[in-house]
């Protein structure tokens, strides 16, 4: 009740009577950890200077990232949500949610799920910045609090050899094909097109990012089943006669069953760039989790496929998350995941292992200690999905530990 009164007071300062009939709640999470991270074992990198068949190249060694300390905000956020009864069983619903950089300058923007919609017996229709069912399944299967930090399964799922696939055509961004690719900086720049990640940055895949310009329908609960269908609008569409035409759109569909101790879901997400190469990226996920009282166990399967008129690449990954309650307020958490090789490309797989302990000081506050590591094969460069080590080149293995506090309100 106190939060609602405060929220209404704040809303009143902004818009007068506009919120007078809405039920508004302020909520969020503050999650800060002290980290130590590093990446060792990078492969020797040979960058081709004169194309296939040539003999000019630069060789780079000692490409590891040294151990360093940092303080991290692990997806801390602040949100406002509410509903208004419209009568006849209808409600207007809204949410504005933004990330808070409470480890640095305290930057804030509404870059998380923010939407307006209508809800009723038919379900909910919403438009804005939305989490699709594919991303939601990845989050639901993450065993660590908040599905964030260096333990998040988004380090592996949805990616292709480490590439996040954000607006990328992988067949035309080959870092070993001539030109001016004679420096490690240029090589990193080309990897950037594929999802090369910055230090302490977000390094999630295209499929594990919230959709902008999205419209979604969420069905009512039908004996434990819900269906979600989302569409991403082609707002960037260009004329067909431009040199680099685009017409990017996508869809995300999911079916979820949740009843008692069982949760299971199947999702399909596809993005089409509408470029000159017909680039299309697809992610299919299947996940199930069982709560046996003293803990949980689950299995997540993830298949990525990227294709254009130059060919098709596929990669399959899976995760096994486990939790076990100890001492009433404690929880031991572990997960193991593995990404296979990209089709016809050897040494592009990776393994991930994470182990942690969370202790509840109250219903809203936990202290935690976690360790996580990714073991990349010689041609893979997977990095942590949230608060990446950064600068990971093929073969380097990110490792790190975090200790900290998470408070939800």
Consecutive 10-residue averages of pLDDT for the chain (409 residues)? 40 39 88 96 66 57 83 95 96 96 82 97 98 98 97 96 72 41 48 64 93 97 98 92 89 98 98 88 97 97 90 94 96 98 92 98 97 95 93 89 97
Tokens 């069953």 belong to which residue? Answer: 257
**Any idea what the CATH number is for the domain that residue 234 is in?**
2.40.160.10
Question: How far apart are alpha carbons 251 and 270 in whole angstroms?
Answer: 6
- In whole angstroms, give the CA distance from residue 345 to residue 339: 13
Element (H, E) at 279: none
The Cα 3–Cα 24 span in angstroms is 9
Instruction: In whole angstroms, give the CA distance from residue 396 to residue 60.
Output: 13
- 101 φ/ψ sector (left φ>0, alpha ψ -120 to 50, else beta): beta
Q: Which domain holds residue 300?
A: 2-408
For residue 301, what pLDDT is reported? 98
Question: CA-CA distance, 319 to 302, in Å (whole number)?
Answer: 9
Amino acid 52: pLDDT: 55
What per-residue confidence (pLDDT) applies to 39?
93
Q: Which helix (H) or strand (E) holds 192?
A: helix 184-194
What is the predicted pLDDT for the residue at 81? 97
**pTM as predicted:** 0.87
Number of domains in the chain: 1
Q: How is the chain split among helix, strand and coil, in percent rounded to 5?
A: 15, 50, 35
Cβ atoms of residues 254 and 263 within 8 Å:
no
């Amino acid at each position: 009740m106190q939060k609602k009164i405060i929220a209404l007071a704040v809303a009143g300062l902004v818009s007068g009577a506009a919120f007078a009939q809405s039920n508004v709640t302020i909520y969020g999470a503050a999650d800060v950890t002290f980290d130590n991270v590093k990446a060792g074992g990078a492969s020797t990198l040979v960058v081709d200077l004169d194309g296939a068949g040539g003999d000019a190249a630069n060789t780079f060694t000692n490409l590891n990232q040294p151990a360093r300390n940092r303080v991290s905000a692990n997806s801390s956020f602040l949100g406002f949500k509410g509903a208004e009864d419209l009568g006849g069983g209808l409600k207007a619903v809204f949410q504005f949610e933004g990330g808070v950089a409470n480890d640095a300058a305290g930057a804030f923007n509404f870059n998380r799920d923010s939407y307006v919609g209508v809800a009723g017996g038919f379900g909910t229709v919403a438009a804005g910045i939305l989490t699709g069912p594919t991303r939601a399944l990845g989050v639901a299967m993450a065993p660590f609090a908040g599905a964030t930090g260096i333990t998040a399964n988004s380090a592996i799922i949805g990616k292709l050899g480490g590439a996040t696939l954000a607006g990328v055509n992988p067949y035309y961004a080959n870092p070993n094909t001539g030109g001016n690719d004679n420096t490690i900086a240029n090589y990193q720049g080309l990897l950037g097109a594929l999802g090369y990640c910055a230090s302490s940055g977000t390094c999630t895949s295209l499929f594990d990012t919230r959709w902008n310009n999205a419209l979604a329908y969420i069905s009512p609960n039908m004996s434990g089943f819900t269906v979600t269908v989302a569409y991403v609008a082609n707002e960037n569409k260009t004329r067909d006669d431009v040199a680099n035409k685009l017409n990017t759109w996508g869809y995300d569909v999911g079916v979820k069953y949740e009843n008692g101790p069982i949760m299971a879901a199947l999702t399909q997400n596809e993005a089409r760039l509408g470029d000159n190469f017909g680039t299309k990226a697809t992610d299919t996920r299947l996940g199930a989790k069982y709560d046996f009282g003293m803990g949980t166990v689950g299995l997540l399967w993830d298949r990525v496929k990227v294709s254009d008129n130059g060919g098709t690449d596929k990669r399959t990954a899976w995760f096994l998350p486990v939790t076990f309650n100890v001492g009433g307020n404690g929880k031991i958490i572990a997960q193991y995941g593995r990404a296979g090789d990209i089709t016809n490309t050897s040494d592009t797989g990776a393994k991930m292992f994470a182990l942690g302990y969370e202790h509840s000081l109250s219903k809203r506050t936990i202290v935690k200690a976690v360790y996580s590591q990714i073991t990349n094969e010689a041609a893979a460069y997977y990095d942590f999905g949230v608060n990446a080590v950064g600068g990971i080149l093929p073969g380097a293995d990110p490792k790190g530990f975090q200790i900290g506090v998470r408070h939800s309100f």
